[in-house]
A and B are shown apart, each in its own frame.
Chain A
Amino acid sequence: MRRVKVKDLFREQRTFELRVLLAGGIVALLLALVAGRLLWLQVVRYQYYAELSQGNRVRIEPLPPDRGIIYDRKGRILAENTPAYQLTITREQVNDLDGVLQRLVQLELLESDDLERVRKLIASRRLFEAVPVRLRLTDEEISRYAVHRHELRGVDLATRMARHYPYGSVAVHALGYVGSISEDDLKRLDPAQYFGTAAIGKTGLESSYEAELHGRGGFREVLVNAEGRSVETLGGARPELRIDRPAAGLDLELSLDIELQRVAEQAMGDRRGAVVALDPWTGDVLVLASTPTFDPNKFARGISTADYRDLTTNPDQPLYNRVLRGTYPPGSTIKPLMALAGLEAGVIKPEDTRFCRGFFTLPNSSHRYRDWKKEGHGTVNMREAVMTSCDVYFYGLAAALGIDRIHDTMTRLGFGKPTGIDVQGERGGIMPSTAWKKSAFKQPEMRVWFPGETVIVGIGQGYWTATPLQLANAMAVLATRGPHFKPRLVSSLRDPETRERTPRPPEPLPTVTLNDPGSWEVIVDAMVAVTTGPRGTAVRAARGAAYTIAGKTGTAQVYTVGQQEKYDEKTVADRLRDHALFVAFAPAEQPRLAVAVLVENGGHGSSVAAPVARAVFDAYLSEPSP
């Protein structure tokens, strides 16, 4: 039989009291043990440790590695390290900090907006540490400092290697930039490696290849005096001082062509948008331009608060990488791909025609899906539909295909997922499907796919979004008629010491194979018609070219026009105007370059985006192929 226990409160209280007393005894005993240990260290062994502490005269000083240099495909330097004079303040040597800071502002060596940041910086450093308040001074500023040096006790010049981008803002979204190491960076990196490094890659390649570019930090031992100041070695060399030389970071050789990039950026002018150009046979990215741009040297030199605020509050968002992160409705640019999907699924033949009367309706529905041309295109076959960009043809084709078959083909062409380019931050866009909609929405009534949603996907609207890079990537597949490569910016890495080059061979993706390989030429032919045909939408931009361009214009709606309204460019505010797009590859028969251009709120792809692509083709194809 089980013994019944009764809660005996008095006994429990008593037990607890005893246990507490005992615990107190143990606490006292163990702390006495610690105290005994202290007596041993500080009284009995005092002499021994005092001598050891006296001998601690060697301090470890970091030797930061040289950051790898970045070259373009023709060996031009895009990012290098140049010696820079920086302005430092040692608080302990300054009598009147506020006065000195004010004086620096008067001398225009500091901006008054920056004082708050500089004060914080000074407060957060250790004793007797020279705090860099400006990372790169101009020659003129240096001489101004030199003249007034006597009034500026505690303010010094120091040299270090600083990042410099000789091409300034050109290709800034591909290269990225370096900036001061932030608290967030410190959490991720190995402090031993960055001990002594001033800057770290923040975006673009500078950040994606940080591990390769940075190198390995070294150190050397220096003799210090009682205050911790470095002193010259006593009586010549002291052989027991160790030195561990840093290993410089790897140089990067890019597939980017900086002159071609400049052509693309100049062609964009002051418009917002993106240009990407790929070598379809390798995945080499020759142009990666997002506009507006900004000067990465500002960051490398320590950006001022005012400059940074200007960049972040600019409504044109210069810091935003539109090529990789901008997801836009692809608009009519995907019509050739839709045609390809139709041929692949066998729901349509190239010669099949459809009558376009200016709008499309689904059976049993009165909703009118309008064509961009109010009066319609009349009877069109596939070639004519692509050439004139007839919406009604593709509304019908999409409805016949159904969203899931569209999704299958477009996924093979790289939509709906990041392309895998070797720069971080890429977005994948959305390639909708019934499965996607089920998982993307919470409300049950939103999780069903409606036929009408398929119709507008046929002209690249609706849920479908893609990055300019994905569009160029899909063009590259059309250009090669199947073979597919992962876009890449870095073509090889080089060890600056051994000069050893490690090439990164092109990375093939699964080749796109068609049931009928003849379909490739049907599509390419229709795209050539866009730039050469009688009613082609990009004829004007392609006129006079010494090569054939296979292209497609696009206009992506930002703003939905109501059923009874008519889209009027003039009344719609600039930010609500359509995005202009153009995708192409050339020469059509033996393509060497695939291009995608997007101009935000640019209006029509034919008049705004296509000339940018033309400029890039002209510049690239006028050179003989390597």
Chain B
Amino acid sequence: MMHQGFGESRSRRTLTRGTRLLKALHLDGALLVGLAAVAAFGLLVLYSAAGGNTAMWTRQVVRLGIAVVGMLFLAQVPARFLRMVTPLAYGIGVLLLMVVAGLGDIGKGAQRWLDLGVVRFQPSELMKLAVPMMCAWYLHDRALPASIRETLVVLVIVAIPALLVAEQPDLGTALLVAAAGLSVLLLAGLPWRFVFAGAGLAAAATPLAWFLMHDYQRSRVLTLLNPQTDPLGAGYHIIQSQIAIGSGGVFGKGWMNGSQAQLEFLPERSTDFIFAVIGEELGLLGQLFLIGLYLVVIGRALYLANQCRDTFGRLVSGSIALTFFVYVLVNTGMVTGLLPVVGVPLPLVSYGGTSMVTLLAGFGILMSLQAQRKLVRT
């Protein structure tokens, strides 16, 4: 860009020491503050949701620390390098998924984990980042909007890992992988007629999906429609989480005072259903506050995506922002009874290290991409 030089020299005068440091570390202040606020709020809620189990809480703090270090590290990686290794990461990811499908360790009744001896690792987590990056890598040099053939290639790039993950069966992660890939297509300017045709096709294929679903997945859809059919079985989660949220009212019952959560009526209260604990103890205001924080993070991430100067950066950043949104939407929708129960955690709040590392790794990549925006020739 022609005016780049001006912009830089003019802004340099107004830079304070702090912002200069952030700049040097490729960090975005506003995004960082938003993420920190969500994480801090999450730890506060988790302390209560874990029923004062300090060991659990400490473990989460440690995981958060690890995830932050990962994010800061990824932010330092040059964007060009990220683009270069994308096909490799994607290839390895698909390979590992096949390995898991073949000889995966049985974890929680589903084949998701790969035991590396030292750590157990979920290849599907890697795919949440590798899939959108691969889609963007493919579209990077091509004229956009993509042709029908190119669109089909991207769909295949998304479908292979998504189907492998769905087969594990891990519907929640499959959904996130697919959403991450498809959001790249949307952001790349997929013509609207394709979007609507795709949506129509998906609607038409619903009966087929029903046919392919596992029994427990079907029962989750059915219980969403009528939770009372099985109040102690599959409907229990939905009923108890709605009671928790509803009984919280506007101001909530107070931190550590939710009877639903503390008396263990609410299942999975520190993991997937932690949003209901917020509703019960901190009320409508607490939940809206958190949603507001999420909006700040998503909005800022989308803004940064738009600042990226090359196609790869834009598409990957935009997709990371939208995937984060899908996490929020699917989890809150499930907990409030708008969507079927799908195992998607509330980002940066639910107990568990895997999703936190992936999410913050995504933001690390996003920061790397936005930082190098002025160094990349267009």
Contact of A34 among B244, B302, B332 (CB under 8 A): B332
Does A546 touch B at the CB level, under 8 Å? Answer: no
- Interfacial chain B residues near A33, Cβ < 8 Å: 338
Q: In whole angstroms, how far apart are the Cα atoms of A24 and B302 in the complex?
A: 7
Q: Are B55 and A123 in contact (CB under 8 A)?
A: yes
Stretch at the interface among B79-87, B198-206, B246-254, B356-364: B246-254
Contact of A42 among B248, B318, B332 (CB under 8 A): B248
Does B145 touch A at the CB level, under 8 Å? Answer: yes
Q: In whole angstroms, how far apart are the Cα atoms of A49 and B247 in the complex?
A: 5
Chain A, 252-282, CB within 8 A of any chain B CB: none
Contact of B107 among A28, A41, A187 (CB under 8 A): A187
- Interfacial chain A residues near B284, Cβ < 8 Å: 38-39, 42-43
Does A147 touch B at the CB level, under 8 Å? Answer: no
Does B325 touch A at the CB level, under 8 Å? Answer: yes
B141 nearest CB neighbor, chain A only: A7
Does A35 touch B at the CB level, under 8 Å? Answer: yes
Q: In whole angstroms, how far apart are the Cα atoms of A337 and B265 in the complex?
A: 66
Give min CB distance, B306 to chain A, whole Å. 5
Give min CB distance, B202 to chain A, whole Å. 16
Q: Are A42 and B283 in contact (CB under 8 A)?
A: yes
Q: Annotate A93-128 by CB proximity to B: 1 below 8 A, 0 otherwise.
A: 000000000000000000000000000100111110
Chain B, 286-301, CB within 8 A of any chain A CB: 287-288, 291, 294-295, 298-299
Q: Are A24 and B279 in contact (CB under 8 A)?
A: no
Q: Are A41 and B302 in contact (CB under 8 A)?
A: no
Q: Are A120 and B55 in contact (CB under 8 A)?
A: yes
Stretch at the interface among A8-16, A160-168, A424-432, A435-443: A8-16
Q: Are A19 and B249 in contact (CB under 8 A)?
A: no
Supply 10 A–B pairs (Cβ within 8 Å), ascending by A. Answer: A5-B142, A7-B143, A16-B305, A16-B315, A23-B318, A34-B336, A38-B287, A42-B245, A56-B265, A126-B53
Does B147 touch A at the CB level, under 8 Å? Answer: yes
A120 nearest CB neighbor, chain B only: B55
- Interfacial chain A residues near B108, Cβ < 8 Å: 187
- Interfacial chain A residues near B283, Cβ < 8 Å: 42
Q: Are A35 and B288 in contact (CB under 8 A)?
A: yes
Q: Are A27 and B295 in contact (CB under 8 A)?
A: yes
Q: Are B318 and A34 in contact (CB under 8 A)?
A: no
Q: Known contacts A7-B143, A20-B302, A42-B279; is A48 also within 8 Å of B189 by CB?
A: no
Give min CB distance, B317 to chain A, whole Å. 10
Interface size on A (CB < 8 Å)?
A: 47
Q: Known contacts A8-B143, A43-B249, A124-B56; is A31 also within 8 Å of B189 by CB?
A: no
Q: In whole angstroms, how far apart are the Cα atoms of A48 and B249 in the complex?
A: 11
- Interfacial chain A residues near B51, Cβ < 8 Å: 126-127
Does B9 touch A at the CB level, under 8 Å? Answer: no
Contact of A125 among B53, B305, B329 (CB under 8 A): B53
Chain A, 182-213, CB within 8 A of any chain B CB: 187
Q: In whole angstroms, how far apart are the Cα atoms of A59 and B247 in the complex?
A: 18
Contact of A38 among B107, B247, B279, B329 (CB under 8 A): B279
* 12 new A-B contacts at CB < 8 Å, known A19-B186, A37-B337: A7-B141, A12-B189, A15-B188, A15-B189, A23-B322, A33-B338, A38-B288, A41-B245, A42-B245, A42-B248, A46-B246, A228-B259
Q: Are B249 and A23 in contact (CB under 8 A)?
A: no
Enumerate the 6 nearest inter-chain pairs by beta-carbon distance, A residue then B residue, closest first.
A49-B246, A53-B247, A5-B143, A124-B55, A126-B51, A15-B189
Contact of B311 among A6, A12, A41, A50 (CB under 8 A): A12
Q: Are B332 and A41 in contact (CB under 8 A)?
A: no
Q: Are A34 and B291 in contact (CB under 8 A)?
A: yes
Q: Are A37 and B249 in contact (CB under 8 A)?
A: no
- Interfacial chain B residues near A30, Cβ < 8 Å: 325, 329
Q: Are A43 and B250 in contact (CB under 8 A)?
A: yes
Q: In whole angstroms, how far apart are the Cα atoms of A16 and B243 in the complex?
A: 42
A92 nearest CB neighbor, chain B only: B52
Give min CB distance, A577 to chain B, whole Å. 36
Q: In whole angstroms, how far apart are the Cα atoms of A48 and B247 in the complex?
A: 8
